[in-house]
Structure 1
Amino acid sequence: MSITVVIADDQLMLRAGLRMVIETEPDLTVVGEAGDGAEAVSVVRRLRPDVVLMDIAMPRQDGLSATRALLAAPHPPRIIVLTTFDTDENLYRALRAGASGFLLKVSSPEHLITAIRVVAGGEALLDPAVTTRVISAFAGRPGPAPPPELGELTPRETDVLRLLARGRSNAEIAAGLGVGEATVKTHVARVLMKLGLRDRVQAVVYAYESGLVRAGDGVTGQ
């Protein structure tokens, strides 16, 4: 079954380029485009795509508020935010908006295609450069008191959450902790369930907002 995609960006040439890349893949289909956030909300609600590529800076309604509007509705799509890192605050707001993936606009076509398939499959994806900026964005924020639900995690689950916050893949976490990938997947699923989180992106935000991870911290198992 084909994965359906809507592209939301105010640059016509960029939309055309993204469409060209996506439609070279037999399992991906671009079903619509939008030139601003308001149009994106309308198009997505009408076409109900699996995945939305969402620019942040757009006229009328920006991509962040459009993302929040779409994710607040029943049966929301998976959203990948395309960013050029306008400011750290924009990045932080994008994370809080709840998108499932984050990519630089200069990412390779292969990375884009992989991201679409990953988020369509229910996973989340963070560009490693995005994770670096997340760390920087949280570096100057005061550390809050740890929330009580953190105490429900086992020591190994806490280690896994710290590594997730550093942008590690399941394979990298498995290598760092000396366990199998299947074990890591189980730990990740339990972390998300216990903390009431939807995916890895929310786990990254949670780890920093809760004070579990701060810029410059070491991580057990590395």
Structure 2
Amino acid sequence: MHMSDGLVNAPTAAVFGLVAAIGLAISASRARSDLDERTAPMAGLVTAFVFAVQMINFPILPGASGHLLGGALVAILVGPWVGSLCIAIVLVVQALLFADGGLTALGTNITNMALVGTFTGFAVAYALRRFTTRSRGALLTVSFVAALINTVAASLAFVFEYAVGGAGGAGLGTVFSLMVGLHVLVGIGEGIITAATVGAVAAVRPDLVYLLRGTRPAVTLRTPGEATR
């Protein structure tokens, strides 16, 4: 999902750099109300986790790679405003210290993964939130679906940016088929990891799951046979 320098032309990179800056500024302003003694430590943990899983990637096109995104995971656990900042921090560190994603393409990468991916994942999870309290399986299913759709939406944003100002030499049809097709498969893996992680947190501390705030579970979210505290 990472774009490298030169994959889109300079005007396109500049426009989406502005989009990323505005989006992160709004997120930073709104995140203040979400950060508390529960959210802040969780934000640090999920940022470290996403950083680790994003370092495992594979080439898709010259100048583009595929990997897990983590947008739905952070949105479900710490909310979309804090979550988008977590993903953005990961992307900035990767670009500056590991040359994973180009500096001129940082705006497009943040737009795709930190903004489009995170907010799409949260929108899907929030739309299905009423099902999450019915059973542990329902919560896992909602998490899986949100992560899958988040991944595909981010890949579509990548294709849109390439359609606007692609400079990589590959045809738009090739970019679409490879990027979206492979990220459907990536999304399945991301859905499984997201569901497992959210389920593990909810089983121990459901109060730490942002998506579940304000809900009253009709059934326990703990695994069968686990002692109730």
Q: What's the TM-score, normalizing by structure 2?
A: 0.28
Q: Which has the higher strand share?
A: 1
Q: What's the TM-score, normalizing by structure 1?
A: 0.28
Q: Which has the higher contact order (CA 8 A, sep 6+)?
A: 2
Q: Which has the higher helix share?
A: 2
